[in-house]
Each structure stands twice: as structure tokens, then as C-alpha cells.
């Protein structure tokens, strides 16, 4: 069986480079999909990874639908080619609602397979995929009034994928917080939030009773002074190498239970530093639906 990697939209070159560095021989390119033989590898620039993908010869639209229904219920189609025929197949499959997530909800747990038509009479399908969202794209019932920026959607997607949100009373640290999108979301959970930035958060965020703003550089904060934090968060604009040093310093103190940070690339993608983030103990590296030329590094307490 094969493994298929669906590149995050606009980042096909990053995925190609990442797979090459991992030794994956790509045998087929199908739109944003990269197909190779062998077991899956970690690929941060893939919006979705199709594990154990199989090629299925089909003789008709009905035959294709029967083959998919015979494997499991829920399917998402990716159709860069043969769109009309793929739509007709999809119409014969059970409906997958994929409604936008409400604030506080987590990703669905029901298995969601992915399929495509490589040719009119040849499916590529996988019942086991890395993303719980259709083609790796999370959808949200956005709040367009409360948060001061849309950056909060990155943190929301992280919690949804982890299937865990901060709990009321937990301690959160938001480094580089202004204008306060991440702080706003953390505060909505009932957690206590220490927001650090040279600039103050938006007034409506700074006025929240469970938010404390500290003026200063995120790089100057002393972990010993802050103490234990349940969620260490950062959407800082910083060179990836410098951010890695900051993350490593905090992790070494043992005061961080969970960590979420955005690794933002300026200019060319630094795959070396991305690999160093991925190599941190317990780290996962994702390109989220809301990420641009950046990745999100997550270290979650398994307990």
C-alpha cells in the first residue's frame, strides 16, 4: 500500500522538500497530492496524510461508491481532476456534515477517510487519515466581534486538534500577546492569563478580569519569576532560530506543562530549524488551516 500526502494549499514546494529530506520517493503527483510507497513519515507541510492508501479499479460510478461504502461510512473527496465524475460518486456516499466548530468544541472523533479519482476508472482511497477535517481544513463559527484579530483561530484549531482546551483556573502565559487574539481566547476558557508584550493588548482584552498584562520583551521574561504554567503560548514574530532558543530555555526549566507556538519563516523556509522543533521531546509540528508561511509547534502533556 501507499502513503499519500496532501500539501497545504500554496505550500507544495515545502512539502516536496520535506519529503525529499525524509527519503520519500514520490511516484505520483496529483494536484496537491503526493503519493509514495511505504509507511508514512511525519510531514508538517501536509494538510492531511493518507495512511495505507490503496488503488481500487472501478467499472462505474456506482461501483466506486460501493467500494468506498464497503470500507467505512465517512469519506471526503479530493478532486483536482475528473471533478464531475467524482461529484457523482460522492453523491452516492453518506453525507458528512462537517459543520463549523463552535467555540470550545473539539475535532470530531469519527474516522474520516479520503479518496480521489486518479483516472476515470481508478480510485485512490485511505480509511486512515491524519486530519479529522475534510482535506485538512478546519472550519469555525467565527466570533467577529470579540477578538481583536483573527490570529485566535490558530490557537482554536490547535485545541480542537488536541481535543483538549485549557481548563478554568489553569495558568496560561501568552508571549508577544498584543493585540490580544490569543489572550482573548485563553481568557474565554476561564483560565488565568499573563500576557506579555511591549505594547498593551486591545482595551477590551486588557479589561478582562482574568487577564494580567506585563509590559516588556517576551525574551526577557524570567521563568523562575513566572513559575509553573499549564499553557505556554506564543504567536511572536521572531526568527525561528531565536524562537527555538526561547522555547528550549523554558522547556529546560521544567515549568511548562503544555506548549503552543507559531514558527514563522521569513524568506526561504528553514527546514533545518523546522526539524529541530520537531525533534523537541513530545513535539508535534503542524501546518494548520489558519497558518500562512509558518508552522505550529505543539507539546502536549499526555496526562
Catalytic site positions: 264
How many H-runs (helices) and E-runs (strands) does the chain carry?
A: 9, 15
Q: Determine the Cα–Cα distance for residues 10 and 1; give it in Å rounded to an integer.
A: 27
**Strand pairing category for 2-7 and 46-57:** antiparallel
**DSSP-derived 3-state class of residue 155:** helix
Cα–Cα distances (Å) from 194 to 184, 186, 212, in that order, read 11, 10, 5
Cα–Cα distances (Å) from 154 to 17, 137, 175, in that order, read 24, 12, 15
Residue 129 corresponds to which cell in the numbers above? 487519515
Determine phi and psi for 36, rounding to 5 degrees.
-140, 160
Question: What is the full DSSP assignment across 61-76?
Answer: HHHHHHHHHTT-S-EE
Q: Determine the Cα–Cα distance for residues 192 and 172; give it in Å rounded to an integer.
A: 6
Total residues belonging to the chain: 303
Q: Determine the Cα–Cα distance for residues 113 and 43; give it in Å rounded to an integer.
A: 18
Q: Determine the Cα–Cα distance for residues 143 and 105; give it in Å rounded to an integer.
A: 14
Q: Determine the Cα–Cα distance for residues 143 and 203; give it in Å rounded to an integer.
A: 17
Q: Determine the Cα–Cα distance for residues 34 and 29; give it in Å rounded to an integer.
A: 5
Amino acid at each position: 500500500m501507499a502513503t499519500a500526502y496532501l500539501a497545504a494549499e500554496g505550500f507544495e514546494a515545502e512539502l516536496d522538500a520535506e519529503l525529499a529530506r525524509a527519503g520519500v520517493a514520490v511516484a505520483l503527483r496529483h494536484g496537491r497530492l503526493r503519493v509514495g510507497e511505504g509507511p508514512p513519515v511525519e510531514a508538517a507541510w501536509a494538510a492531511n496524510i493518507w495512511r495505507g492508501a490503496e488503488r481500487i479499479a472501478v467499472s462505474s460510478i456506482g461501483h466506486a461508491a460501493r467500494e468506498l461504502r464497503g470500507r467505512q461510512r465517512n469519506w471526503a473527496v479530493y478532486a483536482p481532476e475528473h471533478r464531475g465524475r467524482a461529484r457523482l460518486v460522492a453523491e452516492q456516499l453518506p453525507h458528512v456534515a462537517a459543520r463549523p466548530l463552535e467555540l470550545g468544541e473539539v475535532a470530531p472523533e469519527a474516522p474520516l477517510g479520503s479518496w480521489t479519482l486518479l483516472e476515470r476508472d481508478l480510485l485512490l482511497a485511505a480509511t486512515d487519515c491524519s486530519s479529522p477535517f475534510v482535506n485538512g481544513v478546519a472550519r469555525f463559527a467565527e466570533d467577529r466581534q470579540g477578538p481583536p484579530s483573527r490570529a485566535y483561530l490558530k490557537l482554536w484549531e490547535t485545541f480542537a486538534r488536541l481535543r483538549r482546551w485549557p481548563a478554568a483556573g489553569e495558568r496560561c502565559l501568552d508571549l508577544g500577546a498584543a493585540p490580544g487574539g490569543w489572550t482573548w481566547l485563553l481568557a474565554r476558557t476561564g483560565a488565568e492569563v499573563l500576557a506579555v508584550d511591549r505594547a498593551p493588548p486591545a482595551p477590551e482584552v486588557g479589561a478582562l478580569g482574568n487577564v494580567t498584562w506585563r509590559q516588556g520583551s517576551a525574551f526577557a521574561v524570567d521563568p523562575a519569576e513566572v513559575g509553573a504554567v499549564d499553557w505556554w503560548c506564543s504567536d511572536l514574530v521572531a526568527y525561528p532560530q531565536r524562537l527555538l532558543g526561547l522555547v528550549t530555555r523554558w522547556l529546560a526549566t521544567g515549568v511548562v506543562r503544555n506548549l503552543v507556538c507559531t514558527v514563522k519563516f521569513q524568506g526561504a523556509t528553514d527546514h533545518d530549524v523546522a526539524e529541530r522543533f520537531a525533534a523537541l521531546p513530545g513535539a508535534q509540528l503542524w501546518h494548520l488551516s489558519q497558518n500562512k508561511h509558518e508552522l505550529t509547534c505543539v507539546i502536549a502533556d499526555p496526562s
